[in-house]
Amino acid sequence: MATRWFGAPVQRLEDPRLLRGRGNYVDDIDLPEMLHAAILRSTSARARIVSIDASAAWSLPGVHLVLTAQDLGEILEPSPLLVPHPALTQPRTQLPLARDEVRYVGEAVALVVADNRYIAEDALDLIDVEYEPLPVVHSLGVASASDGPLVHEDVPGNVAAHLAQTVGDPDSVFASAPHVMRETLLMDRGAAMPMECRGVVARWDAQDSMLTCWISTQAPLPIRNGLAAIFHLPEHKVRVVAPDVGGGFGTKIMMFYPEEVLVPFAAMQLDRPVKWIEDRREHFISANQERSQLHEVEYAFDDEGILLGVRDTFLHDAGAYTPYGIIVPIITACTLPGPYRLRHYASEFTVLYTNKVPVSPYRGAGRPHAVFVMERIMDRIARELHLDRLEVRSRNFISPDEFPWDVGLVYQDGGPTRYDSGDYQAGLDKLKALLDYDNFPALKTQARKEGRYLGIGMGAYVEGTGIGPYEGAMVRVESDGRVFVTTGVTTQGQAHMTTFAQIVADQLGIAPEDVLVTTGDTQTFNWGVGTYASRAATVAGSAIHIAAVKVREKTKQVAADLFEAAPDDIELAGGKVFVRDAPHRALTLGQVAISANPLRYAYGENARKLMSMKLAGPRPGPALPEERGGPGLEASGFYSPPHGSFASGIHGAIIEVDPVTCNVTFVKYAAVHDCGRVINPIVVEGQVHGGVAQGIGGAFFERLVYDEEGQLINASFMDYLLPTAAEVPPLLVDHVETPSPLNPLGVKGAGEAGVIPVPALFASAIDDALSPFDIRIREMPLHPSRLYELLREAKIEQSASGPPS
């Protein structure tokens, strides 16, 4: 079977529409009689709600509905705990509207529906909420303090979860190791910040008893199932559509955000469509965030630089609620061993509540933190033993003949953390070439003579991708020969319309542009979970492949009957279905589809031509023989991976630090990436580029700063800086391909990889650039003023201990 389209740099099929401004994002949906909602959000990080007076809001002309907690009746239920875990002993999830207490600035308190958004926001100003302030838990430090304030009165010590896992016998290893070091490493909060904020449009059709919601989400099927249960509607009477979604990066995998329940509720109450579009200020204080962890790590190594054991204990900041369970810290714990042969490892974490926006996965999802810790270890070993940093990594890499490699930990999906394939040294070698690594010392020395501080840094990682439980797809050939494909996952820019089409095109012998893919519409496909964890191409892609293979086999069967040939002699290519070695005996794919559907009437050019052809007549018996399994050329396919697959990679960069301003610029950036077999190289490279840019943001620009009152003080793009084209350097990308043995396509996920090693390599490069000052970076993200402080401290320490020898 030739795989002509798989692997080809096919131009994206979704682009012409988007380039013309003809996309269909949630805020582009305009329904007759539609009203507009706005949300009143808590201004206090922790307070008791004494009273709410909404009477003035109600009396404002143009206001149709004001809702507070007491108006919600039976839907005033905490949102579901999405991923329970035995170690999560104190789960807490959020009410659609806060009732007695608010626990973070931004928590929804009331909803107003009005003729337009302007009036709805006017009405918010008229709602009088009396808060009685309570002590605030604004940091991990406060959260872990004994006798400190509590986020939830009934959760002692703010501890939501505690989990320890051990591999091997780390204590014995530490007792006898030649070298043992320990240090404290910190990652602070950042956020996904998709360019499109969240949004919900809901329409209640009373005639049809049908609720339709358009939501900017990564998980329409779970939301559909949830809404049906909440509103006591049959599942097939609730349709949830994720139309064009302007970026998600994890923050839109959450359910339920309060608005996803409130807006349909309001639409049903008012019997009119209601739209709510989050503004950027709201997004900063109500869309889930991530990244804050504090690690205390100990590591043991020998004189050759071989890592013998790691003991890592960390605190994880969950924010005010734990809707997504403890997925993020589990991923951190399981990602920390990385591409290294670590046989003795103790991991222990405590998940703490804080009075901040809740935490759920953001691109990378616990991995950048883990890679930061492990790569700091590798760099430290190199420094202590005066070894080359890449050489230390090479010595510790798992080698290609050691796969499958069992890390010995239970992964986020409850299965084993088992690496399926990889060739880490091949990636490192490619990185060296891209960076011209061996010539860097000369470049650095020359720069130092000119008073410039250059540094080179690197970060290697593995990424668990393609986890279960499963995804599915339906593939159907229509009578014009075009193929309709639908699946339960969603698309937020990953080019699924193109890559999924490539998978099907290969099986059915057609061009990708004749494959029309629909994602994220619960009315076209009923089964599946969503797009997260770099799993769409792996899990849904495999399901689509399986369905397309079934359709191909059926096509051969139907055509074989028509041509009175053997199914194995039928070929599909160039949009035709024909007998091998007799290409004149050919039908179009559409004609076979028509034949497979024995109607009395068939229309169109394909049908007319079919009528005029001399083909075998129908066999005696039923028009639709049982062995056909149903009419048409249609099949569903499902794929459930045995466990996640592990992508990997190594990035490196040359940076320059201005020792006066402490600004950092990238001189060169190179990424080597292994996501198994590549469906479309331009798409994969695009994913890597975008991930790296977010990683650079997360390393040097993007830190969410909360004050002691729990107020986010940089909640705008003026203050929370996303990298622009001026900060992101040109990126060199190369691939290693170690196919995954776990799925029929051999693919691994690519979505999150780019972001994962950036904080680690940034720290590595700064250490190197500022090595004359003996700097050791132990926190992320940095920014110029923080780096300036660190440099100043290092200089003071140096002058106190005398000039460097």
Partner 1 sequence: MRERDEDLSQCVEECEIAVTVNGNRYERTVPVRLLLSDFLRHELHLTGTHVGCEHGVCGCCTVLFNGEAVRACLMFAVQADGMAITTIEGMAGVNSELHPIQQAFREKHGLQCGFCTPGIIMSVHAMLHEHPDPSEDEIRHELSGNICRCTGYQNIVEAVKLAAERLRVQHMEVE
Query: Which residues of this protein are in contact with partner 1, per CB under 8 A?
Result: 11-12, 14-16, 18-23, 25, 27-28, 30, 117-118, 193-197, 244-247, 249, 279-281, 492-495, 682-683, 685-686, 688-694, 716-718, 722, 724-728, 730-731, 754
Nearest distance from C-beta of residue 275 to partner 1, angstroms: 10
Nearest distance from C-beta of residue 55 to partner 1, angstroms: 24
CB of 70 or CB of 724, closer to partner 1: 724
Nearest distance from C-beta of residue 687 to partner 1, angstroms: 8
Q: Is 546 helix (H, G, I), strand (E, B) or coil?
A: helix
CB of 4 or CB of 281, closer to partner 1: 281
Nearest distance from C-beta of residue 227 to partner 1, angstroms: 25
Measured between alpha carbons, how far is residue 619 from residues 47, 562, 624, 625 in Å? 77, 10, 10, 9
CB of 301 or CB of 362, closer to partner 1: 362
> What tokens appear for 144 in the block?
């872990």
CB of 81 or CB of 682, closer to partner 1: 682
CB of 287 or CB of 790, closer to partner 1: 287
CB of 34 or CB of 607, closer to partner 1: 34
Q: What is the DSSP letter of 556?
A: H
Nearest distance from C-beta of residue 122 to partner 1, angstroms: 10
Amino acid at 490: T
| Length of the chain measured in residues | 805
CB of 99 or CB of 281, closer to partner 1: 281
Instruction: With beta carbons less than 8 A apart as the criterion, state whether 293 and 329 touch.
Output: yes
Q: Cβ–Cβ contacts within 10 Å for residue 150, how many? A: 18
Nearest Cα neighbor of 188 from 789, 721, 720, 781 is: 781
Instruction: With beta carbons less than 8 A apart as the criterion, state whether 11 and 181 touch.
Output: no
Contacts 24+ apart (CB under 8 A), 435-440: 435/652, 435/653, 435/654, 435/668, 435/670, 437/390, 437/652, 440/654
Measured between alpha carbons, how far is residue 484 from residues 128, 520, 538, 542, 592 in Å? 52, 14, 20, 16, 15
CB of 94 or CB of 680, closer to partner 1: 680
Sign of the Cα torsion 208, 209, 214, 220 reads negative
Nearest distance from C-beta of residue 721 to partner 1, angstroms: 9
Nearest Cα neighbor of 265 from 226, 224, 217, 231 is: 231
Measured between alpha carbons, how far is residue 716 from residues 39, 281, 282, 329, 786 in Å? 18, 6, 10, 28, 20
Nearest distance from C-beta of residue 29 to partner 1, angstroms: 9
Alpha helix stretches (DSSP H) within 536-679: 541-563, 589-595, 604-612
Nearest distance from C-beta of residue 388 to partner 1, angstroms: 29
Helix-strand-coil split of the chain, %, nearest 5: 30, 25, 40
CB of 206 or CB of 726, closer to partner 1: 726
Nearest Cα neighbor of 98 from 250, 321, 251 is: 321
Nearest distance from C-beta of residue 696 to partner 1, angstroms: 9
CB of 121 or CB of 779, closer to partner 1: 121
Rounded Cα distance between 745 and 453, Å, is 46
Instruction: With beta carbons less than 8 A apart as the criterion, state whether 174 and 300 touch.
Output: yes
Instruction: With beta carbons less than 8 A apart as the criterion, state whether 289 and 704 touch.
Output: yes
CB of 493 or CB of 590, closer to partner 1: 493
Nearest distance from C-beta of residue 753 to partner 1, angstroms: 13
Rounded Cα distance between 471 and 777, Å, is 42
CB of 15 or CB of 384, closer to partner 1: 15
CB of 30 or CB of 303, closer to partner 1: 30
Place of tokens 């009528």: 611
Nearest distance from C-beta of residue 692 to partner 1, angstroms: 6
Nearest distance from C-beta of residue 728 to partner 1, angstroms: 5
Nearest distance from C-beta of residue 188 to partner 1, angstroms: 20
Rounded Cα distance between 80 and 786, Å, is 40
Amino acid at 418: R
CB of 194 or CB of 632, closer to partner 1: 194
Strand (E) or helix (H) holding 272: none
CB of 408 or CB of 695, closer to partner 1: 695
> What tokens appear for 352 in the block?
């703490």
Instruction: With beta carbons less than 8 A apart as the criterion, state whether 515 and 504 touch.
Output: yes
Rounded Cα distance between 481 and 491, Å, is 25
Rounded Cα distance between 767 and 774, Å, is 7
Nearest distance from C-beta of residue 81 to partner 1, angstroms: 29
Instruction: With beta carbons less than 8 A apart as the criterion, state whether 7 and 677 touch.
Output: yes
CB of 177 or CB of 365, closer to partner 1: 365
Q: What is the DSSP letter of 155?
A: S
Place of tokens 């350097």: 729
Q: CA torsion, points 522, 527, 532, 535, in degrees to nearest 10?
A: -130
Nearest distance from C-beta of residue 147 to partner 1, angstroms: 41
CB of 22 or CB of 608, closer to partner 1: 22
Nearest distance from C-beta of residue 703 to partner 1, angstroms: 17
Nearest distance from C-beta of residue 191 to partner 1, angstroms: 11
Rounded Cα distance between 283 and 198, Å, is 7
Amino acid at 628: R
CB of 387 or CB of 682, closer to partner 1: 682
DSSP tally for the chain: helices H, then strands E:
20, 29
Q: Cβ–Cβ contacts within 10 Å for residue 521, how many? A: 20
Nearest distance from C-beta of residue 12 to partner 1, angstroms: 7
210-215/199-205 β-pairing: antiparallel
Q: From edge to edge, which strands make up the β-sheet containing 570-573?
A: 570-573, 576-579, 582-588
- For 746, phi then psi, to 5°, come to 75, 15
